[in-house]
Amino acid sequence: MNTTSTKRVHVDGTLDCTGLFCPMPIIKTQQAIKKLAPGQVLEMIATDPGSIPDTQAWARQTGNELLEYWTDGGCFRFLIRKAI
């Protein structure tokens, strides 16, 4: 899954993790997703290339749904739906 997003999904919150390195993007994502209602979508923005495999593994382990991710310039953007 490495697509150019058309933002077809309504985003309920955005988390800026630019400049942070492992494990901080995942720690901050976990904190931010807790504040959302089940089914809502978080957009996480990171600059650490390790955030791709980290976010994929975190989503599998937590049951949250990684809807899509893509590269936007030097940033990686992720859309994550909170598990119901």
Annotated active-site positions, please?
Answer: 22
DSSP state letter for 60: H
- Residue 43's SS3 state is strand
Alpha helices in 1-84 (DSSP H): 24-34, 51-62
- Residue 69 φ then ψ, to 5°: -145, 155
Please report, as a single letter, which amino acid is at residue 66: L
- Cβ atoms of 32 and 18 within 8 Å: the answer is no
